[in-house]
Structure 1
Amino acid sequence: AKIYPLAVDTRVTPSMGEVMIKDMLAGKIDAAVLWGPMAGYYARELGADVTIVPLLKEKTGSRMSYRITMGVRPSDQEWKRTLNRVIRENQTEIIKILLGYNVPLIDEHDNPITQ
């Protein structure tokens, strides 16, 4: 096992996600466990022929898959409605962009979103 510090300033130090993927490709480690969007991005950038597997069935510890959200001030309800409408109208394109960066996506039933 090898420990990688994930909280680094990538302006002066390479991303540990990138280092982990490179180490795995070089055979220094057998597998890497890291945040899905980071794993997907660096695997794509490095041309790695790897499989990214979301951790969905663990019975102990914190759930490792979650929704990303944003909030608005309670006084900004019109802005909230506008954001929700824009996201809803562009959901297909948003998913395509995320998949283009190899971000692993799952639906509300933990099924992979692939298109």
Structure 2
Amino acid sequence: MRSRVSSLFVLAMSALPLSVLAAKPDTLRVCADPNNMPFSNQAEEGFENKLAGMVAKQFGKAVSYTWWAQRRGFIRQTLKAGVCDLVMGIPAGYDLVETTRPYYRSTYVFVSQAARHLQLDAIDDPQLRRLTIGVHLIGADGNNTPPAHALGRQGIVDNVRGFMIYGDYREPDPPARLIEAVENGEIDIAAAWGPLAGYAAKRSGVPLTVTPIIASEQFSPQQFQFEIAMGVRKGDHALRDGLNDFIDEHGAEIRTLLQDYGVPLVEHRHSSAGEHR
């Protein structure tokens, strides 16, 4: 068995390009989505791009990107394939990678036009039964966002509009279609991941209200808040520990960066559980 595993390993390594086998020591190799603002894009305008630049500067390195759409198979095609060493935004405790300590915690939010004055923050608010609600859908296998699950558990289905989080990748920032539907009045309210919603609200030509979602006890342990960390390959403790030191030393700068992008921040908890955004 050991001989067979070794042979498979050699064959796999021989198939990798030379650039993967011999990463430059002066380069921080990052894998990121080229079309997923406010997190990252190929123009390096996202807050994860800015954060990668801060990390590289601390390490005395330059950032080198491998671009890959952040959807199912992302980790397998990037970190596990050896084409990069770091992913900037990973749910804390995500079991496919080695994660750092969280560098921020955010929440799902409701987004509505400010002119509507909906004053709605609870996922079981009776108003939701008469409003057109937009949610992100991840796939047809039931692996959807917490708001989508919570609404379904209450039987709120007929007035819910689903927007595929992957969307049409030929368009800029596909997940943003959900927030745009609020702006143009296509839906009354959206339940969205906070960083996306907060960034869109700051840039919107239509004043938007962004309100953290409150979960009542009936949805426990349903979570709407998640801690986000950086991810490295399992076993890469040296890089993980260096990143943890960076997070400890630059907490205030990281917080300012996130606030500049409109990310709703909530206090960290002592939990490492998370869900992929």
TM-score range, shorter chain: 0.7 to 0.9
Q: Which residue of 2 aligns with 1:113?
A: none
* Cα gap change, 1:90 to 1:48, in 2 (>3 Å): farther
Listed as ranges, the gaps of 5+ residues in structure 1 are: 110-115
Displacement of 1:20:
2.2
> 1:3 and 1:55 mapped to 2: Cα distance?
18
- CA contact 1:24–1:32 (8 Å) conserved in 2: yes
Residue 99 of structure 1: SS of its match in structure 2?
Answer: helix
Residue 4 of structure 1 aligns with an amino acid whose one-letter code is: F
For the pair 1:40 / 2:195, whether they are aligned, the reply is no
Pairing of 1:53-68 with structure 2 (within 5 A)? 53-59=211-217, 60=219, 62-68=222-228
Q: Which residue of 1 aligns with 2:143?
A: none
- CA contact 1:23–1:29 (8 Å) conserved in 2: yes
* Cα gap change, 1:81 to 1:49, in 2 (>3 Å): same
Q: Which of 79, 92, 111 is the equivalent residue of 2:252?
A: 92
> 2:236 and 2:213 mapped to 1: Cα distance?
36
* Cα gap change, 1:71 to 1:17, in 2 (>3 Å): closer
> 2:213 and 2:234 mapped to 1: Cα distance?
34
> 1:73 and 1:18 mapped to 2: Cα distance?
30
Residue 36 of structure 1 aligns with an amino acid whose one-letter code is: G
Q: Which of 243, 248, 256 is the equivalent residue of 1:83?
A: 243
Residue 238 of structure 2 aligns with an amino acid whose one-letter code is: E
Residue 79 of structure 1: SS of its match in structure 2?
Answer: helix
For 1:14-67, what per-residue CA distance to the aligned partner results, in whole angstroms no more than 9, with x for missing partners?
A: 545422222212222111111111111222222442222222434316302110
The normalised TM-score by structure 1 is: 0.74
Please state which structure has a larger fraction of its residues in strand: 2
- CA contact 1:41–1:102 (8 Å) conserved in 2: yes
Percent identical across equivalent pairs?
Answer: 31
Displacement of 1:95:
0.7
Larger radius of gyration: 2
> 2:177 and 2:211 mapped to 1: Cα distance?
19
The normalised TM-score by structure 2 is: 0.35
> 2:257 and 2:239 mapped to 1: Cα distance?
23
- CA contact 2:183–2:206 (8 Å) conserved in 1: yes
Q: Which residue of 2 aligns with 1:112?
A: none
Q: Which has the higher contact order (CA 8 A, sep 6+)?
A: 2
For the pair 1:2 / 2:161, whether they are aligned, the reply is yes
| Equivalent residue pairs, number | 108
> 2:206 and 2:252 mapped to 1: Cα distance?
26
- CA contact 1:54–1:65 (8 Å) conserved in 2: no
Listed as ranges, the gaps of 5+ residues in structure 2 are: 1-159, 270-277
Residue 85 of structure 1 aligns with an amino acid whose one-letter code is: D
Residue 19 of structure 1 aligns with an amino acid whose one-letter code is: R
Q: Which residue of 1 aligns with 2:263?
A: 103
Q: Which residue of 2 aligns with 1:21?
A: 179
Query: RMSD of the alignment, in Å?
Result: 2.4
For the pair 1:69 / 2:229, whether they are aligned, the reply is yes
